[in-house]
A = this chain, B = another copy of it.
Amino acid sequence: MLYLARMDVHLPQDMPVVQANEIKAREKEYSQELQRQGKWQQLHRVVGQYANYSIFDVDSHDELHEILSGLPLFPYMSIEVTALARHPSSIR
């Protein structure tokens, strides 16, 4: 099942650069592993913002929440999730 997620990141402005970089490195690794598994199907940057739109393909709400709440940046994010159904005009 597909879900659209919009994630906005708000790092504390007093977070040391070293700590921020370490979190971002773990986030990247975590994200890329899920992309390779096919669960995180798409990941796009919103132009001009520290934010992304992503499409996930997972088996259940619980699986998606586990993935999202496990993001290294999760404590610094606000996330909006939209459930996507098949569109009758889609050729896929």
Contact = CB atoms under 8 A, between A and B. Distances in A.
B87 A64 contact: no
Nearest to A7: B48
Nearest to A79: B48
A46 to B, nearest CB: 6
Query: Looking at chain A's contact residues, is the secondary structure mostly helix, strand, loop, or mixed?
Result: mixed
Given A1-B60, A43-B89, A89-B27, A80 B48 contact: yes
A36 B91 contact: yes
26 contacts: A2-B44, A4-B44, A4-B53, A12-B13, A12-B14, A13-B75, A42-B90, A42-B92, A43-B87, A43-B89, A44-B90, A45-B86, A45-B87, A46-B84, A47-B65, A48-B65, A48-B68, A48-B69, A48-B79, A48-B81, A50-B69, A61-B84, A61-B85, A62-B85, A65-B85, A81-B83
